[in-house]
């Protein structure tokens, strides 16, 4: 099997060149087998058995068209995270009907349009499948994925009417994320005050806009690859800020990652130190949120080639997991590498494979092969594993792309 060749730092990033590396193909997998694997994963996760396989549930329609949601089966709720991931998968795979149905559901049941509500302009992070809000505050990664998926939809399909004016909707959301003023009012959780989603001084995404915890962050919410898109497509007045945010996030990755293991905490402070939230002290460890951080620095490097430290981070992280054993590593660790469970899960296997987009060590190929061998998640815990698996397949196969207004090269 041929060794994958790490891209040179001097080569332009994929978002500029239009050439997205297909790590499966570089590892010797036939292209028809790669495409078949992706098609099967989408079909099962969106249209498989309702009790054991699918995450995507049609939910009738309204005046804006069809409705559908992505369900967290284990917790029996609909999360802005999953809805926005589903939209990103749909736009990457040219699935406009599914994209629009998810967006319609999010706008109908998750979006807060009351200008006096502390969550005004944002999406409730958790809603019941029946559309009842569980927690009105946003989890900012949902807004980040919503905005970017909308920009990509505008480029790929063109803008429609009303809520399907994709670019206008993205601009509005981005403006709230950047400039929303403090609003205090009554919510389902009592009286709350909330502000913008990005700290104006640190230029970093907040853990939450709720002022009670707004001075913290989450490394897995940092998406510099998206901020570069916003800097080229978003409202003109804020483009310099998004460039600044992209660099701040790249710096944050290097501060947050452990110097020996490359592991990052679930929650953190703006200076990169871990944050043990009062209600969840284990958030200072490498747990479920943190799996995604390596994906974020790796596809940023692949798309934009702005920070070669991403290569060092991927090499460090993969060296740690390879040292644990490709088939033996666990899913949760202290930052210095002590096992906190004994279960290997598809979601982390998937994210470690995406780290190969930035890695330079030949062991990166083994992480790609591990993803190839994973079955499509099903059963009670298929939501998080399934969404990360689906996105990883697209990243690793070169089918997760930056859809920009003026293509800079062939989309191949």
Q: For residue 68, what is the enclosing H or E element?
A: strand 65-70
Residue 282 a catalytic site member? no
Structure tokens of 376? 């499509």
Instruction: Report how far apart the first and last C-alpha atoms of the chain are (Å, whole number).
Output: 23
The active-site residue, picked from 59, 81, 210, 228, is 81
Distance, CA of 324 to CA of 343 (rounded, Å): 13
**Long-range contacts, 272-277 (Cβ 8 Å, 24+):** 274/335, 275/207, 275/216, 277/213, 277/216
SS3 content of the chain, % helix, strand, coil (to 5): 45, 10, 40
Among candidate residues 289, 300, 307, 369, the one labeled active-site is: 289
201 is catalytic: no
DSSP state of 72: B
Q: Tell me the C-alpha distance between 194 and 197, whole Å.
A: 9
CA distance 119 to 137: 6
87 and 173 in contact (C-beta within 8 Å)? no
Angstrom distances, CA of residue 161 to CA of 3, 84, 94, 154, 363: 48, 20, 19, 12, 48
The residue assigned the tokens 């998937």 is 350
Instruction: Please give the Cα distance from 11 to 189 (Å, whole number).
Output: 50
The DSSP code sequence of 338-349 is -BS-----HHHH
- Give one DSSP letter per residue of 46-67, joined into a string: HHS-TTTT--EEEEEEETTEEE
**How many Å apart are CA 155 and CA 94, to the nearest integer?**
12
d(CA 58, CA 61): 9
* Residues with Cβ within 8 Å of residue 236, at least 6 apart in sequence: none
Give the three-state DSSP class for 366. Answer: helix
**Catalytic residue numbers, as ranges:** 81, 289
């Amino acid at each position: 099997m041929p060794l994958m060749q790490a891209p040179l730092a001097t080569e332009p990033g994929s978002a500029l060149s239009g050439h997205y590396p297909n790590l499966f193909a570089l590892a010797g997998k036939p292209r028809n087998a790669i495409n078949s694997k992706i098609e099967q994963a989408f079909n099962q996760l969106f249209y498989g058995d309702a009790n054991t396989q699918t995450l995507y549930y049609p939910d009738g329609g309204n005046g804006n068209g069809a409705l559908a949601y992505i369900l967290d089966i284990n917790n029996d709720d609909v999360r802005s995270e999953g809805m926005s991931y589903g939209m990103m998968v749909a736009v990457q795979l040219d699935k406009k009907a599914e994209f629009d149905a998810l967006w319609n559901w999010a706008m109908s049941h998750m979006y807060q349009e009351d200008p006096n509500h502390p969550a005004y302009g944002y999406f409730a992070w958790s809603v019941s499948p029946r559309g009842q809000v569980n927690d009105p505050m946003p989890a900012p990664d949902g807004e980040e994925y919503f905005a970017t998926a909308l920009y990509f939809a505008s480029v790929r399909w063109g803008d429609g009417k009303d809520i399907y004016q994709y670019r206008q909707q993205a601009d509005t959301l981005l403006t709230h994320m950047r400039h929303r003023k403090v609003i205090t009012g009554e919510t389902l959780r009592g009286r709350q005050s909330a502000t913008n989603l990005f700290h104006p001084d640190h230029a970093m995404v907040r853990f939450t806009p709720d002022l009670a915890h707004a001075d913290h962050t989450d490394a897995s919410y940092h998406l510099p690859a998206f901020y570069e898109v916003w800097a080229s497509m978003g409202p003109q007045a804020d483009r310099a800020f998004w460039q600044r945010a992209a660099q701040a996030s790249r710096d944050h990755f290097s501060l947050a990652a452990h110097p020996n293991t490359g592991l990052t905490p679930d929650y953190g402070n703006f200076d990169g130190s871990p944050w043990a939230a009062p209600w969840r002290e284990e958030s200072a460890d490498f747990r479920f949120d943190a799996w995604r951080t390596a994906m974020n620095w790796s596809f940023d490097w692949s798309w934009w080639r702005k920070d070669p430290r991403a290569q060092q981070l991927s090499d460090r992280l993969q060296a740690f997991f390879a040292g644990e054993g490709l088939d033996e590593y666990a899913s949760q660790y202290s930052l210095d590498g002590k096992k906190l469970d004994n279960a290997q899960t598809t979601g982390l296997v998937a994210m470690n494979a995406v780290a190969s987009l930035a890695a330079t060590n030949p062991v990166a190929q083994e992480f790609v092969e591990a993803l190839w061998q994973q079955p499509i998640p099903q059963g009670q815990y298929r939501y998080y594993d399934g969404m990360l698996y689906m996105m990883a397949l697209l990243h690793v196969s070169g089918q997760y792309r930056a859809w920009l207004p003026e293509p800079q090269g062939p989309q191949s």
